[in-house]
């Protein structure tokens, strides 16, 4: 095919600044922090209630998963169906999820339904009844769902990496055994709720087509009766280390799931922006070194993704790559090569600029919707930051130097410091992996 | 967006708002249709190009080709080397993707609005001429095979039911075949195939360009003319008739999934033409919500909470798209995952039971209003994101020449009557359905 003459790529125009959200805030008498933001896009409102959990004991995990599944199964005033009907009437829904650090109750409704949504949210946090039959039903269902999750290679790999990074700490596990799950009773879930679901230290973020001042009053009326005191935070986990590759056998697997992880900086750290950009250059977006190498050059993978993740008491860098069984060891060689380059050689200024623009753009997109802004604010506020971070962080990203990025890559992307987990067919990948370094077999994917 | 009041037929207590967007339509001399939807609330712009070719149009012996070709559109173009397109989007602070569906293939970016002209250039450059080489083709065949491994071959319930139910429900190649593609078909693809496919289906007259967000419509249209206006007009292929007769008796099949730990079952029924007969189609959208969305929904209450037969149940319109970006023929699909100690017959018979009860007793007093309120709210949240809204507008322009429908759908949902919902449920009879039982081979 005859190729037309190349045309010039247009320059960027003058950027227009985003309007920063105006935040109204109040701490209620019971200790609940409430943050309301007007974002009128569509006539909806999105809410996120974040309640700190500070799990210490192993049996916290199965109990909180049952609590997630049954918190909306009835209150003193409504049964499960009645509650769901009341929410639907205002175009609304509530959803409950948890991790070792916190319980999250997400809500949404038509904006004119907000008073009703708040009433129902208050009813759930103060009067959830955890009926015995509902808990028993959900315990059985949860066991089925856990079997389904464990059968997913990505879930098995995530669990194996958690265990490698945080052995013995609540961060080290997200999939309880069927036996642990079966032992959860309605009484123990009610006790968990009483102890942990308290206003002190909790945060409620509301974003939508609302008047912030009136919303704060509505929240105060609905939730001032919620009472209870916070429990002290749990101890942080030990810093993860590298070491032998952990091989989890998945007989017959046509792919291997490669996961590498290690410690990372908090968002509040002065060097965070530099680490963030180093990570993006390495594996954080489509144009990353790793994607160019193992996808666009070698065709080993559909996707490779390296990301920073943040718990309340530890942050991690986690790399996820799935590859065909036959290229498992070669892919790991390329990953080690790219990590080694990051750890020992500088990135280019062009790479840094591209990563900074992308990261700032992504932050802007994450706040472009009501639900997205609510989630971003909740995360920032829980980390002790405030809304000014949205304005200031792009400037910090743009100011990162090549040397600063190199220093962070040297510390956090060094292959020797990362833990490696592979889920795959051990009979087909074990020998080649052992040729690269020491391998320890995990007993099973759990 | 502007408020224009409240939906018809909705009780005052619910006040489902109706919405409308400023939407302008144009057609360039080369046939490219353009949709412009300004919204200056944030300095962000979404650009989407929809080509009117999808999985249903790929030739026999070349299963998966429409999707493989989507990958090739990222491999360089008239003025750009491989990876340059991606680099320009990313270094402008944007993100991008593409997807292949039954009736279309789309490409889109969302970026800071100062990158609008750059994004238009990037899309025009590959509409002008993608750069497909033997090396890039072989590389992307490998990447697509990895995509199939990660999403289908190595994944529990991979392709269930979107790849596995259509061959039970449909007979003809366009509707029934595997759109991800057989490995031997993908491996057989040639540069000439790609060149032919591009010439035939990627003509400007076979495409829609939608731009939403922080734009001045006149300036944006001038930029569109500048970058797309001189792409030569080419013949546009007529869209084939993909319709098939309805089923006259139940069809059943089994699928062994060696990765799955627990079994599942999927049911599919044909539905009215979503484009030609939207009024008859909308009650099925409400019915899907009424049956399976939330803890008050009928099938979820019965199967999950009361009878403990299923761990999850869901209903949807279509196999891989949302309800409003697929053409005829399509389906109402119910999927239930269940524990090994329940049989799929028990699950299906409970579903039949609930459908029969709905047909016999009708809806409860408040049921329709609250389901409509929730459905409308879901559509509103989708429309809150400039990209979600722009993609919907592009698709609605392509399939219906009606991009403004994006703002009207909540009210159209609100106008569906209880009688219509019951009428829709009445068509979900065992003798019209396809049923696929998934056998869990990975139980342990």
C-beta atoms of B142 and A300 within 8 A: yes
User: Closest to A361 (Cβ–Cβ): which among B80, B112, B374?
Assistant: B112
Q: Looking at CA atoms only, how far is residue A70 from chain B in angstroms?
A: 11
Bridge partners (DSSP) listed for residue A208:
A38, A45
Chain A touched by B138 (CB under 8 Å)? yes
C-beta atoms of A13 and B155 within 8 A: no
C-beta atoms of B43 and A81 within 8 A: no
d(CA A44, CA A93): 12
Residues in chain B, pLDDT under 70: 1-16, 442-444
- Residue B6: the pLDDT is 36
C-beta atoms of B93 and A72 within 8 A: no
Chain A touched by B382 (CB under 8 Å)? no
Q: Looking at CA atoms only, how far is residue A275 from chain B in angstroms?
A: 18
Same domain, residue pair B136 and B257? no
Beta carbons of B106 and B99 less than 8 angstroms apart: yes
CB proximity list for B330: less than 8 A, separation 6 or greater: B102, B270, B271, B274, B317, B318, B319
Same domain, residue pair B59 and B185? yes
Q: Would you state the structure tokens that stand for residue A331, as one six-digit string? A: 């892919």
Q: Looking at CA atoms only, how far is residue B56 from chain A in angstroms?
A: 24
C-beta atoms of B93 and A364 within 8 A: yes
Q: What's the per-residue H, E or C state across chain A?
A: CCCCCCCCCCCCCCCCCCCCCCEEEEECCCCCEEEEEECCCCCEEEEEEEEECCCCCCCHHHHHHHHHHHCCCEECCCEHHHHHHHHHHCCCEEEEEECCCEEEEEEEEEHHHHHHHHHHHHHHHHHECCCHHHHHHHHHHHHHHHHHHHHCHHHHHHHHHHHHHCCCCHHHCCCCCHHHHHCCCHHHHHHHHHHHCCCCCCEEEEEECCCHHHHHHHHHHHHCCCCCCCCCCCCCCCCCCCCCEEEEECCCCCEEEEEEEEECCCCCCCCHHHHHHHHHHHHHCCCCHHHHHHHHHCCCEEEEEEEEEECCCCEEEEEEEEEEHHHHHHHHHHHHHHHHHHHHCCCCHHHHHHHHHHHHHHHHHHCCCHHHHHHHHHHHHHCCCCCHHHHHHHHHHHHCCHHHHHHHHHHHCCHHHCEEEEEECHHHHHHHHHHHCCEEEECCCC
- Residue A3: the pLDDT is 60
Cβ neighbourhood burial of A47 (10 Å; 0-12, 13-18, 19+):
buried
Same domain, residue pair B334 and B204? no
Same domain, residue pair B311 and B193? no
Chain A touched by B79 (CB under 8 Å)? yes
Could you say which residues from 104 to 123 on chain B have a Cβ atom under 8 Å away from some Cβ of chain A? 110-118, 121-122
C-beta atoms of A148 and B259 within 8 A: no
C-beta atoms of B384 and A147 within 8 A: no
What single DSSP character describes residue B80? Answer: B
- Residue A78: the pLDDT is 97
**Which domain range does residue B139 map to?**
20-228
Helix then strand count (H, E) for chain B reads 16, 13
Every domain range in chain A assigned CATH 3.30.830.10? 23-223, 245-442
Chain A touched by B413 (CB under 8 Å)? no
Closest C-alpha among B93, B115, B362, B163 to residue A285 = B93
Q: What is the mean pLDDT of residues A137-159?
A: 94
Nearest-CA residue of chain A relative to B300? Answer: A81
Nearest-CA residue of chain A relative to B289? Answer: A88
Which residues in chain B have Cβ-Cβ distances shorter than 8 Å to A93? Answer: 294, 374
Share of chain A above pLDDT 70, in %: 98
- Residue B15: the pLDDT is 62
Beta carbons of B42 and B386 less than 8 angstroms apart: yes
The CATH number of whichever domain residue B424 belongs to comes to 3.30.830.10
Q: How many CB pairs under 8 A join A and B?
A: 250
Q: Looking at CA atoms only, how far is residue B309 from chain A in angstroms?
A: 9
User: Closest to A255 (Cβ–Cβ): which among B90, B125, B149?
Assistant: B149
Q: What is the mean pLDDT of residues A277-282?
A: 98
C-beta atoms of A141 and B304 within 8 A: yes
Nearest-CA residue of chain A relative to B139? Answer: A299
C-beta atoms of A354 and B138 within 8 A: no
C-beta atoms of A368 and B91 within 8 A: no
Q: Which residue has the higher pLDDT, A119 or B8?
A: A119
Q: Looking at CA atoms only, how far is residue B414 from chain A in angstroms?
A: 12
C-beta atoms of A322 and B146 within 8 A: yes
Chain A touched by B226 (CB under 8 Å)? no
What single DSSP character describes residue B130? Answer: B
**Helix, strand or coil for residue B12?**
coil
User: Closest to B117 (Cβ–Cβ): which among A13, A15, A361?
Assistant: A13
Q: 1.10.1200.10, 3.40.50.300, 3.30.830.10, 3.40.50.1370: which CATH number matches A245-442? A: 3.30.830.10
Residue B65 lies inside a defined structural domain of this protein: yes
Please report where in the chains the tokens 């920032």 appear, as a residue: A380
| pLDDT(A128) > 70 | yes
Please report where in the chains the tokens 């009341």 appear, as a residue: A86
User: Closest to B146 (Cβ–Cβ): which among A6, A12, A324?
Assistant: A324
Same domain, residue pair B330 and B399? yes
ipTM of the prediction greater than 0.95, yes or no: no
Residue B278 lies inside a defined structural domain of this protein: yes
d(CA B218, CA A109): 36
Distance from the first to the final alpha carbon of chain A: 54
Chain A touched by B441 (CB under 8 Å)? no
Please report where in the chains the tokens 């019971």 appear, as a residue: A30
C-beta atoms of B110 and A371 within 8 A: no
Chain A touched by B93 (CB under 8 Å)? yes
Same domain, residue pair B275 and B208? no
Beta carbons of A256 and A320 less than 8 angstroms apart: no
- Residue A443: the pLDDT is 67
d(CA A269, CA A250): 39
Distances (CA, A) of A428 to A254, A255, A256, B139: 10, 11, 10, 24
Please report where in the chains the tokens 């922080």 appear, as a residue: B214
Residue B1 lies inside a defined structural domain of this protein: no
Which residues in chain A have Cβ-Cβ distances shorter than 8 Å to B220? Answer: none
Q: Would you state the structure tokens that stand for residue B329, as one six-digit string? A: 């023929």
C-beta atoms of A41 and B1 within 8 A: yes
As a whole number, the mean pLDDT across chain A is 95
Chain A touched by B383 (CB under 8 Å)? yes
Same domain, residue pair B141 and B262? no
Beta carbons of B228 and B204 less than 8 angstroms apart: yes
Residue B234 lies inside a defined structural domain of this protein: no
Chain A touched by B311 (CB under 8 Å)? yes
- Residue B5: the pLDDT is 34
- Residue B100: the pLDDT is 97
Which residues in chain B have Cβ-Cβ distances shorter than 8 Å to A109? Answer: 377
Phi, psi of A82 (to 5 degrees): -60, -40
Chain A touched by B180 (CB under 8 Å)? no
Same domain, residue pair B264 and B169? no
Chain A touched by B127 (CB under 8 Å)? no
- The pLDDT tens digits of the residues spanning A54-101 come to 877 878 999 999 999 999 999 999 999 999 999 999 999 999 999 999
Bridge partners (DSSP) listed for residue B434:
B251, B268
Q: Which fold has domain A23-223?
A: Cytochrome Bc1 Complex; Chain A, domain 1 (3.30.830)
Residue B261 lies inside a defined structural domain of this protein: yes
User: Closest to B155 (Cβ–Cβ): which among A145, A152, A303?
Assistant: A152
- Residue B14: the pLDDT is 55
What's the number of CA atoms in the CB half-sphere (13 Å) around residue B69? Answer: 35
C-beta atoms of B121 and A144 within 8 A: no
Same domain, residue pair B311 and B190? no
- The pLDDT tens digits of the residues spanning A29-38 come to 999 999 999 9
Q: How many structural domains compose chain B? A: 2
Closest C-alpha among B284, B294, B352 to residue B318 = B284
- Residue B416: the pLDDT is 96
Count other C-beta atoms under 10 Å from residue B360's C-beta.
8
- Residue B11: the pLDDT is 40
Same domain, residue pair B51 and B127? yes
Q: Would you state the structure tokens that stand for residue A29, as one six-digit string? A: 């008498």
Q: What is the pTM of this model?
A: 0.94
Q: Looking at CA atoms only, how far is residue B5 from chain A in angstroms?
A: 12
Count other C-beta atoms under 10 Å from residue A304's C-beta.
28
d(CA A302, CA B154): 13
Please report where in the chains the tokens 């990505």 appear, as a residue: A154
C-beta atoms of B90 and A6 within 8 A: no
Q: Looking at CA atoms only, how far is residue A167 from chain B in angstroms?
A: 26
Closest C-alpha among A413, A412, A433, A414 to residue A422 = A433
d(CA A434, CA A291): 25
- Residue B177: the pLDDT is 97
- Residue B321: the pLDDT is 84
d(CA B400, CA A191): 56
Residue B13 lies inside a defined structural domain of this protein: no
Same domain, residue pair B308 and B356? yes
Chain A touched by B41 (CB under 8 Å)? yes
**Helix, strand or coil for residue B363?**
coil
Please report where in the chains the tokens 């206003």 appear, as a residue: A199
Nearest-CA residue of chain B relative to A323? Answer: B146
Distances (CA, A) of A164 to A313, A318, B10, B161: 17, 12, 55, 35
Same domain, residue pair B264 and B412? yes
Distances (CA, A) of A77 to A72, A122, A312, B364: 12, 12, 34, 21
Q: What is the mean pLDDT of residues A240-269?
A: 97
Beta carbons of B111 and A268 less than 8 angstroms apart: no
Q: Looking at CA atoms only, how far is residue B442 from chain A in angstroms?
A: 8
Cβ neighbourhood burial of B312 (10 Å; 0-12, 13-18, 19+):
middle
d(CA B270, CA B354): 19
d(CA A164, CA A181): 23
Q: Would you state the structure tokens that stand for residue A15, as one six-digit string? A: 């950027």
Closest C-alpha among B379, B441, B442 to residue B408 = B379
Tell how far CA B186 is from the center of its chain: 23
* Residue to test with chain A: of B98, B112, B229, B309, most A Cβ within 10 A: B112
Residue B262 lies inside a defined structural domain of this protein: yes
Beta carbons of B381 and A208 less than 8 angstroms apart: no
Chain A touched by B195 (CB under 8 Å)? yes
What's the number of CA atoms in the CB half-sphere (13 Å) around residue B273? Answer: 11
Q: Would you state the structure tokens that stand for residue B167, as one six-digit string? A: 């061959």
């Amino acid at each position: 095919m005859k190729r037309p003459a190349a045309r010039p790529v247009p320059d960027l125009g003058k950027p227009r600044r985003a309007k920063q959200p105006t935040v109204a805030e109040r701490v209620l008498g019971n200790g609940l922090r409430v943050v309301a933001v007007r974002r009128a896009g569509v006539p909806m409102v999105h809410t996120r209630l974040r309640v700190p959990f500070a799990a210490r004991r192993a049996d916290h995990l199965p109990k909180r998963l049952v609590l997630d599944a049954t918190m909306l199964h009835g209150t003193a005033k409504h049964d499960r169906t009645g509650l769901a009907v009341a929410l639907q009437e205002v175009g609304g829904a509530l959803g409950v999820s948890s991790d070792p650090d916190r319980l999250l109750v997400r809500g949404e409704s038509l904006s004119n339904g907000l008073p009703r949504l708040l009433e129902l949210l208050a009813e759930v946090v103060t009067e959830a009844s955890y009926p015995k039959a509902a808990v028993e039903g959900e315990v059985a269902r949860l066991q089925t769902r856990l079997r389904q999750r464990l059968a997913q290679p990505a879930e098995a790999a995530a669990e194996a990496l958690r265990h490698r990074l945080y052995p013995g700490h609540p961060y080290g596990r997200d999939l309880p055994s069927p036996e642990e799950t079966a032992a959860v009773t309605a009484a123990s879930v009610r006790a968990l709720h009483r102890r942990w679901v308290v206003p002190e230290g909790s945060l409620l973020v509301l974003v939508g087509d609302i008047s912030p001042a009136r919303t704060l009053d509505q929240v105060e009326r609905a939730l001032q009766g919620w009472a209870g005191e916070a429990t002290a935070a749990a101890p942080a986990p030990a810093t993860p280390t590298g070491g032998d590759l952990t091989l989890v056998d998945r007989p017959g697997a046509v792919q291997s799931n490669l996961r590498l992880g290690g410690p990372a900086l908090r968002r509040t750290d002065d060097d965070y922006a530099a680490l963030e950009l180093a990570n993006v250059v390495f594996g954080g977006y489509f144009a990353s070194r790793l994607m160019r190498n193992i996808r666009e050059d070698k065709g080993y993978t559909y996707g490779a993704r390296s990301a920073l993740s943040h718990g309340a008491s530890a942050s991690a860098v986690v790399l996820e790559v799935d590859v065909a069984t036959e290229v498992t060891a070669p892919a790991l060689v390329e990953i080690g090569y790219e990590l080694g380059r990051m750890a020992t050689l500088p990135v280019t200024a062009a790479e840094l600029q591209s990563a900074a623009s992308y990261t700032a753009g992504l932050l802007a997109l994450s706040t472009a919707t009501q639900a997205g802004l609510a989630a971003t604010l909740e995360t920032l506020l829980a980390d002790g930051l405030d809304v000014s971070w949205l304005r200031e962080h792009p400037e910090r990203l743009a100011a990162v130097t090549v040397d600063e990025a190199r220093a962070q890559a040297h510390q956090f992307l060094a292959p020797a410091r990362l833990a490696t987990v592979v889920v795959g067919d051990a009979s087909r990948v074990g020998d080649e992996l052992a040729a690269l370094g020491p391998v320890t077999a995990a007993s099973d994917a759990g | 967006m502007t408020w224009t009041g409240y939906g018809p037929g909705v009780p005052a207590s619910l006040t489902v708002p109706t919405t409308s967007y400023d939407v302008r339509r144009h057609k360039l001399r080369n046939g490219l249709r353009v949709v412009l939807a300004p919204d200056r609330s944030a300095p962000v712009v979404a650009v989407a190009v929809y080509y009117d070719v999808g999985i249903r149009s790929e030739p026999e012996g070349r299963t998966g080709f429409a999707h493989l070709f989507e990958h090739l559109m990222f491999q360089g173009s008239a003025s750009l080397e491989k990876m340059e397109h991606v680099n320009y989007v990313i270094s402008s602070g944007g993100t991008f993707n593409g997807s292949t569906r039954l009736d279309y293939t789309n490409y889109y970016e969302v970026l800071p609005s100062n990158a609008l002209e750059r994004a238009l250039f990037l899309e025009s450059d590959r509409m002008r001429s993608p750069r497909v080489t033997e090396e890039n083709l072989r590389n992307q065949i490998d990447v697509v095979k990895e995509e199939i491994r990660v999403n289908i071959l190595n994944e529990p319930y991979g392709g269930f039911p979107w790849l596995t139910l259509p061959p039970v429900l449909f007979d003809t190649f366009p509707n029934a075949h595997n759109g991800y593609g057989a490995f031997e078909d993908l491996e057989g693809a040639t540069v000439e195939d790609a060149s032919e496919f591009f010439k035939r289906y990627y003509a400007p007259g076979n495409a829609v360009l939608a731009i939403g967000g922080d734009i001045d419509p006149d300036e944006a249209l001038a930029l569109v003319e500048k970058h797309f206006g001189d792409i030569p007009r080419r013949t546009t292929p007529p869209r084939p008739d993909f319709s098939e007769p309805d089923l006259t008796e139940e069809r059943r099949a089994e699928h062994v999934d060696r990765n799955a730990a627990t079994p599942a079952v999927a049911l599919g029924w044909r539905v009215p033409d979503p484009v030609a007969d939207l009024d008859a189609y909308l009650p099925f959208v409400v019915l899907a919500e009424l049956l399976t969305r939330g803890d008050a929904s009928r099938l979820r209450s019965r199967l999950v909470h009361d009878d403990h037969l299923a761990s999850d149940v869901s209903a949807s319109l279509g196999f891989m798209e949302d309800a409003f970006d697929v053409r005829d023929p399509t389906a109402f699909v119910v999927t239930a995952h269940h524990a090994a100690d329940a049989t799929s017959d028990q699950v299906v018979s409970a579903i039949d039971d609930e459908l029969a009860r709905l047909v016999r007793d009708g809806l409860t007093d408040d049921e329709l209003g609250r389901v409509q309120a929730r459905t409308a709210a879901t559509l509103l949240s989708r429309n809150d994101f400039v990209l979600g809204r722009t993609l919907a507008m592009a698709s609605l322009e392509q399939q219906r020449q009606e991009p403004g429908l994006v703002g009207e759908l909540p009210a159209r949902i609100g106008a569906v009557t209880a009688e219509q919902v019951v009428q829709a449920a009445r068509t979900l009879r065992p003798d019209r359905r396809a049923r696929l039982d998934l056998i869990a081979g990975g139980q342990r």
